[in-house]
């Protein structure tokens, strides 16, 4: 068509899984941004990329690929820093039951009518099941077939979710496991990026939860609708009043109304300007990201408990 300029797509090996050709996107930071058919859309810092390139363990890369896929499916474009990389790779392995449930969830995603078929050889199933090989995915699918949850339609990988499989998915969702998400309401000033990455992000990860900041979420909803959706899906909210942004006050108030734990933080130099309505709350006043991370981890674990992805001292050694 005249007047239409097609953007040339750069394809390179995925920095995470290595086995897929990923679209490399232009990025304005020290790192690389890619969209992979297996892992999803992610950003990898330069330091984390250097560390990852030394990792030869396929299982470690499968763990990172699975985590990135979870974030991507939830609507987030995760930024993998060296801190995030360390925490994700130290997590305990997913159980076989969780991995088979992950296959069912991924199969149902975008499937269309009940009884429609899907193909387990698609790269996304490697990430969704935290698998290091296609043989792992086939084995998990055979397990589901033996349980009556899934049916193979031939030898090419085409499958179908059976009625018991849909019932299994409903049962898993009914259990409503503890959310691993911690929502961060804060001022998106570039001067606070280091505070976010080395303070809020590090502190929440150390407590066993995944941090989420709304400006790093990919979505097509109205921004206020997406904020409400993400808060509703979170275990708690961290409200930082540095800069005294009106949106932070709103998001903290909404979370309180929902009965979610709210962790109040503020840069020490901004503390005197806190609105009188929230001065009654125990606020973490911070000066450095390192201090903030330590205190935030301690506060979260004391109130909400260690998260579902908390690294135990044994697994960390």
Encode pLDDT of 295-316 as tens digits.
999 999 888 888 877 765 544 4
| CATH classification (class only), 96-175 | mainly alpha
- Do the beta carbons of residue 192 and residue 208 sit within 8 Å? no
Tell if the pTM clears 0.75, that is, is over it: no
- What CATH number does domain 181-316 carry, 3.40.50.450, 3.40.50.720, 3.90.110.10, 3.40.640.10? 3.40.50.450
Q: What is the mean pLDDT of residues 287-296?
A: 94
pLDDT at 243 over 50: yes
Scanning the structure block, which residue is given the tokens 């930071």? 29
Look at 282 and 44; give whichever has higher pLDDT. Answer: 44
Integer Cα distance of 304 and 309 in angstroms: 13
Per-residue pLDDT, 101: 92
Percentage of the residues of the chain whose pLDDT score is greater than 90: 39
pLDDT at 170 over 70: yes
The band of 221, judged by pLDDT with boundaries at 50, 70 and 90, is low
**Angle at alpha carbon of residue 189, lines to 186 and 194, rounded to 5°:** 85
Indicate the domain borders of the chain: 11-89, 96-175, 181-316
pLDDT at 1 over 60: no
Tens of pLDDT, residue by residue over 226-235, are 888 888 888 8
Q: What is the mean pLDDT of residues 274-290?
A: 79
Integer Cα distance of 53 and 221 in angstroms: 36
The band of 279, judged by pLDDT with boundaries at 50, 70 and 90, is low
Is there a common fold for 96-175 and 181-316? no
- Among residues 15, 78, 75, 98, the alpha carbon closest in space to that of 51 is found at 15
- Among residues 237, 229, 315, 240, the alpha carbon closest in space to that of 274 is found at 240
Q: Please give the distance of CA 187 from its chain centroid, rounded to a whole number.
A: 21
The band of 277, judged by pLDDT with boundaries at 50, 70 and 90, is low
70: phi then psi, degrees, rounded to nearest 5? -60, -45
Per-residue pLDDT, 158: 93
pLDDT at 122 over 90: yes
């Amino acid at each position: 068509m005249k007047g239409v300029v097609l953007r040339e797509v750069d394809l390179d090996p995925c920095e995470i899984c290595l086995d897929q050709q990923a679209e490399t996107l232009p990025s304005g930071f020290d790192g690389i941004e890619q969209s992979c058919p297996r892992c999803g859309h992610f950003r990898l810092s330069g330091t984390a990329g250097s560390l990852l390139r030394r990792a030869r363990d396929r299982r470690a890369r499968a763990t990172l690929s699975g985590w990135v896929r979870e974030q991507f499916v939830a609507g987030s474009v995760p930024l993998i820093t060296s801190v995030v990389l360390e925490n994700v790779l130290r997590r305990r392995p997913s159980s076989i039951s969780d991995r088979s449930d992950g296959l069912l969830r991924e199969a149902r995603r975008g499937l269309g009518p009940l009884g429609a078929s899907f193909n387990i050889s698609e790269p996304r199933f490697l990430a969704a099941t935290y698998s290091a090989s296609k043989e792992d995915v086939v084995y998990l699918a055979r397990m589901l077939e033996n349980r009556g949850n899934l049916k193979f339609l031939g030898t090419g990988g085409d499958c179908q979710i059976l009625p018991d499989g849909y019932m299994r998915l409903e049962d898993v969702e009914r259990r409503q496991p503890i959310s691993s998400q911690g929502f961060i309401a804060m001022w998106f000033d570039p001067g606070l990026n280091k505070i976010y990455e080395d303070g809020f992000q590090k502190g929440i990860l150390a407590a066993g939860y995944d941090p989420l900041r709304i400006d790093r979420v990919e979505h097509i909803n109205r921004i206020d609708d997406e904020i409400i959706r993400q808060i509703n899906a979170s275990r708690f909210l961290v409200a930082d009043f540095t800069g005294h942004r009106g949106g932070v006050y709103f998001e903290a108030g909404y979370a309180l109304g929902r009965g979610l734990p709210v962790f109040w933080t503020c840069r020490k130099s901004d503390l005197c300007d806190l609105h009188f309505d929230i001065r009654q709350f125990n606020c973490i006043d911070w000066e450095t990201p390192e201090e903030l991370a330590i205190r935030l981890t301690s506060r979260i674990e004391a109130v909400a408990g260690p998260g579902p992805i908390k690294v135990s001292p044994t697994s960390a050694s």
